[in-house]
Amino acid sequence: MKPTIYDVAREAGVSITTVSKIINGKGRISIETQKKVLHIMEQLNYQPSLVATALTGKGTRTIGLLIPDLANPFFAELARSVEDRGHEHGFSVIICSSDNNEEKMKRYIAMLQQKCVDGMIIATGIGEQVVEQQLLPSNMPIALIARDMPGISAQTVLVDDFAGGYLAATHLIELGHTRIGILTEPLHLVSSLERLRGYRQALADHQLSFSADFHKQSDSRIEKGKEKASEWFQRPGSPTAIFASNDLLAIGVMQAARDAGLRVPEDVSVVGFDNTILAEISDPPLTTIAQPIEHMGHQVIDYLVQVIVEDEKEKQRVVIQPELVVRKSTAAPSGREGSGCI
């Protein structure tokens, strides 16, 4: 049986009130009694209830991190950076992965609220309505990272997704490609919309027209990226270059190209987004748009802790410029370019 405050009081020969005062640092308790009670707590391996501590107004020193998919290296690296920085601040981080399931995410939010976390960091694609209905009424401090919600006033750290899409498409255009496909996550995500908008702006700036046939949407999984890209490669006039809106999808595109007998980058160039470990170890190494993942994770928890500890009222909104990292998955088009427009 898990020891309780009653067990501590009985073994120490003091009242429950005395034990509570020692745990919460209140009241005038002799040094001798404090040492005795703390020794008993250590012997019994007694851990005070975080919820009970929260009810005293002292907080729980815990933060919830809501991510869509822990299997995605971007979110795994982000979670690691948030957890490391939280530890430096003396906070524990509870990581919840929704698998892009909104009902699962709602349950996680309710669970974190029941555990009285001091704040939440949201990195998922859940809609603003969920935040408005479940989180805002509780006045719990929240922060957004890598996911924008224009209608929500919160500490926000994200990359300039429009600039990233523009960089990716411009790189491919400058190599000489004109048939450039784009594979995005679902467009209910602001980040997907902005990356698509940046891609389209780059086309327009270089006098290339946009065709809906060269845009596909996919769940953020390698197998889905492979499936969608295969649809392109099965017909004439397929893209000679593809910008995938994250590294997972880009790996799927490269797999589809190989299955279709195409070489990367000789026959088809591929650009990803995120610059995760996958980009470095893929074959060939992946050209991608880099997000400073560690810096973003550190910054978002710094801002949230400031709200929790110092009751900071001002909302910070940090938009970081991405960078193009050129590796071996992009090159000038080969004879496959042929005719046709995008």
Give the pLDDT score at 56. 53
Those residues whose C-beta lies under 8 Å from the C-beta of residue 155, and which sit 6 or more positions away, are 141, 142, 143, 144, 300, 303, 304, 307, 315, 316, 317
Residue 56 lies in a domain: no
For the chain, how big is the Rg over CA atoms in Å? 25
Mean pLDDT across the stretch 261-267? 96
CATH at residue 11: 1.10.260.40
Four-CA torsion 165, 288, 225, 232, nearest 10 degrees: 70
Q: Are residues 260 and 116 in the same domain?
A: no
Res 61 pLDDT > 80: yes
The tokens for 341 are 């427009």
Q: Are residues 32 and 120 in the same domain?
A: no
Q: Are residues 129 and 189 in the same domain?
A: no
The more confidently predicted of residues 57 and 181 is 181
Q: Are residues 191 and 280 in the same domain?
A: yes
Res 50 pLDDT > 70: no
Q: Are residues 186 and 98 in the same domain?
A: no
Q: Are residues 248 and 169 in the same domain?
A: yes
**Looking at 35-49, 85-99, 270-284, which range is the least confident one?**
35-49
Q: Are residues 282 and 313 in the same domain?
A: no
Residue 335 lies in a domain: no
Mean pLDDT across the stretch 216-240? 94
Residue 54 lies in a domain: no
**Looking at 129-143, 213-227, 285-299, which range is the least confident one?**
129-143
Which pLDDT tens digit goes with each residue over 319-337? 999 999 999 999 999 865 4
Q: Are residues 174 and 267 in the same domain?
A: yes
Mean pLDDT across the stretch 250-260? 97
Give the pLDDT score at 340. 36
Mean of pLDDT over the chain: 89
Orientation of helix 5-12 relative to helix 31-44, angle to 10°: 130
Q: How far apart (Å, rounded) are the C-alpha atoms in residues 102 and 127? A: 9
Q: Are residues 165 and 286 in the same domain?
A: yes
Give the pLDDT score at 335. 66
Residue type, position 340, single letter: G
**How many independent structural domains does the chain possess?**
3
Give the pLDDT score at 315. 86
Q: Are residues 199 and 275 in the same domain?
A: yes
pTM exceeds 0.75, yes or no: yes
Considering only CA atoms, which of 216, 223, 266, 260 is closest in space to residue 241?
266
Q: What percent of the chain has pLDDT over 90?
A: 58
The tokens for 113 are 């609220």
The tokens for 22 are 């020692």
CATH at residue 76: 3.40.50.2300
pLDDT band at 31 (very low <50, low <70, confident <90, very high): confident
266-297 burial code (b ≥16 CB/10 A, e <16): ebbbbbbbbbbebbeebeeebbbbbbbbeebb
Residue 67 lies in a domain: yes
Residue type, position 207, single letter: Q
Q: How far apart (Å, rounded) are the C-alpha atoms in residues 86 and 310? A: 16
Residue 327 lies in a domain: no
Q: Are residues 138 and 174 in the same domain?
A: no
Q: Which of 272, 291, 310 is the last residue of a domain?
A: 291
Q: How far apart (Å, rounded) are the C-alpha atoms in residues 129 and 201? A: 30
Q: Are residues 165 and 287 in the same domain?
A: yes
Domain that holds residue 240: 161-291
Give the pLDDT score at 24. 65
Residue 330 lies in a domain: no
End-to-end CA distance of the chain: 68
Mean pLDDT across the stretch 103-120? 86
Residue 323 CA, distance from chain mean position:
18
